[in-house]
Structure 1
Amino acid sequence: MKKDKELIEKLKKIDLLFLASHLGFTPVSKSSKYYTLEEHDSFMIKLHDNTFQWYSRGNYGNAISMCMYLGGEVDKRFQSYSYSVNYLEKLYLQMKDNIIVDNIKPHENVKKDPETLILPFPANNNKKVYSYLRNRCISEEIIDYFVYNRWVYQNRYTDNLVFVSYKDDKPVFVCEKGIIQEQRFMKEYSANDYNHCFYIDHGSDCLIVTEAIVDMMSIMELTEDFKRYNYLSINSVTKYQAIFEHLKNDTKIKSVLMRVDHDKAGIRLNEKVCLKLKKQFPHVRINVEYPPKEKDWNDYLVYEVNKKRKS
């Protein structure tokens, strides 16, 4: 259905700082007149006329254009004019005129405190969370467990999965995972505590370490009594310092089960971690195991489930 011209003009005037934030990006003040993005330093938002220019790519324009170009970084559907317009219309109907810039005026600095994590707005439901994780062969029992504990929810504006880890009930680590499997989209936050990463404490003396949170969920799926273990997803082979921090902070842990990807990076990671553990925590037992099939534990879970379905 063709959109009303008046509505289109309103959508063009949606506050670009507001829009950037809700697309999952971080506005950073450059001066009283300009903002850039933490994720793209060649992207400039001009406060005096509420327009943007992406110098490295030659893109510029209003909120609709920004939605198509910047939103396309998150989800390729935004590259469609109609999809972006529908997205902005929903945003406008939810927020109404408080996100429309008619009389241009200076904005307050929306750059977050480097010590504070600002969580993305949750959707009204978690349908996309359940759909994505079911498709990766994670059971409703495990998904429910994560949702109940506020460890995962659906981003209201992008539909991404938002994973949150807490320390003393305060969020200290947040990452988003895109719902389109082929794109492998992952966004982390600059205020994340990488000494903590994504950690689940069941009060166990045994810690299971994975590279990705969905791999963690897959290990739980493959484990008879998953609550017998603590879990840590380091989210990258370079962020393994969190393993040693948790061992320092929790002297109950007597064994570490390394369950990372079966590739060159995963093998090198295990070598580094095992060497360091033996030096710094000689009393801690180490066990290394790779998925019997496939590269990572989620792919292995999918393989096993599909094999059972065929048999």
Structure 2
Amino acid sequence: MQIARETDLPDLLSHLGYQVKRVGRFHTTTEMDSLRIKDRRTWFRYSQNTGGDAITFLQQFCGKSFPEAVEYLLTFHGKARDAPIPQPKPISPKQEFSLPLRNADDRRVFAYLRKRGIAAQVIRQFMNSGLLYEDAVHHNCVFVGRDESGQAKYAGLRGTYDLDSPGFKGDATGSDKNTGFSLPHDPRSDLVLVFEAPIDLMSYLTLHRDTTNALALCGLYDGALQTYLQAHPEIRRIALCLDADEPGQKAAQQLQEKYQLQGYAVTVEKPRCGKDWNEYLQKRLCSRERGR
């Protein structure tokens, strides 16, 4: 039983015919982009709020009973007699992307970001550019990613009630992770600063108002950076401003090596203290308050 439960899920899904890909610290599939595989042993599908191990995956997506799933996995590991490959259930078509309905005003989002230390000027800059607003149903922050034609392709959602808890984070249905949240591009600069989250990008702008080109990946997957560089060939320098924690710095090292091989000048910049740029900004603001 333990052998079945500890099946390597990326290997199993590839065997079943899924197109498996790595996204930051997780694996997912082209067919189910809301699927996340953690530590190669457990999965969770956010669109259906279900998850489990290899056994439950075969039950959920291949129509197997519990004994059939265990038997198949033992066969997969060479521990049982050959069994026919289970046929995955048809995957429903990917839902089309649409922006969440906009609220009549953006007061809660504005107040929330101000409490996070972000300057009012920076908040208004993104709101006036159509890149940030408050959704009408849940009053989340909506961080909009647009392509070069100005069409919205991505929307990152952030709850406005998380000051004392982790709070809600997610993407709007159908969001394209190859489009990031970014400042309107300035072709006069050959440098782009890259962040994990929109709030970190806005925190950095609060500290460095003269920043020109900046992009938030909305995670650690670099698809948005690839898209950005393809659209702006004048960019020759990249500053990776990812989180200061272990995943962020590991990703920064990997991305630095990757893009240096492509001919870019790549540096890594991290906050002097705190886990990320927003935490650093808040510590700076607290220090100023104590110094008064």
* TM-score, with structure 1 as normaliser: 0.61
Correspondence 1:1-311 to 2 at 5 A: 39-40=47-48, 114=94, 116-167=96-147, 168-181=149-162, 182-200=165-183, 201-203=185-187, 204-226=189-211, 229-237=212-220, 239-280=221-262, 282=263, 284-311=264-291
**Which one has a larger percent helix, Structure 1 or Structure 2?**
1
Cα gap change, 1:206/1:40 in structure 2, threshold over 3 Å: closer, same or farther? same
Following superposition, the deviation at residue 41 of structure 1 comes to 5.4
SS at match of 2:182: strand
Go from structure 1 to structure 2 and tell me whether the alpha carbon gap of 1:236 and 1:208 turns closer, same or farther (over 3 Å shift): same
Which amino acid letter does the alignment assign opposite residue 118 of structure 1?
Answer: S
- Per the TM alignment, residue 40 of structure 1 is displaced from its structure 2 partner at its CA by 2.2
In structure 2, the residue corresponding to 1:158 is in which secondary structure?
A: coil
- How far apart in 2 are the matches of 1:309 and 1:215? 21
Separation (CA, whole Å) in 1 of partners of 2:126 and 2:209: 17
Distance 1:288 1:153 in 2: 30
Gaps of at least 5 residues in structure 2 are 1-44, 51-91
2:226 is paired with a residue of what secondary structure?
Answer: helix
- Kindly provide the amino acid, as one letter, of the partner of residue 124 in structure 2: D
Unaligned runs of 5+ in 1: 1-36, 43-111
Distance in 2 (CA, whole Å) between partners of 1:215 and 1:253 is 21
1:115 Cα deviation from its structure 2 partner: 7.1
- Following superposition, the deviation at residue 191 of structure 1 comes to 2.1
* 1:242 to 1:151, Cα distance in 2 relative to 1, 3 A: same
Could you tell me how far apart the structure 1 residues matched to 2:240 and 2:146 are?
Answer: 22
Letter in 2 for 1:202: D
CA deviation vs aligned residue, 1:256-275 (integer Å, no higher than 9, x gap): 11101111101110111011
> In 2, Cα distance between the equivalents of 1:290 and 1:142?
20
Q: Is the 8 A contact 2:198 2:218 kept in 1?
A: yes
Q: How far apart, CA to CA, are the structure 1 residues paired with 2:166 and 2:141?
A: 14
What secondary structure is seen at the aligned counterpart in 1 of 2:257? Answer: helix
Instruction: Kindly report the root-mean-square deviation, in angstroms, between the aligned alpha carbons of the 2 structures.
Output: 2.0
CA distance in 2, matches of 1:196, 1:212: 13
1:48 match? none
In structure 1, what is the Cα distance between the partners aligned to 2:193 and 2:186? Answer: 11
Q: CA offset at residue 249 of structure 1? A: 2.4
Name the % identity: 24
Question: Structure 1 CA distance, aligned partners of 2:140 and 2:110?
Answer: 11
Cα deviation, residue 120, structure 1: 1.1
Question: Cα distance, 1:165 vs. partner?
Answer: 1.6
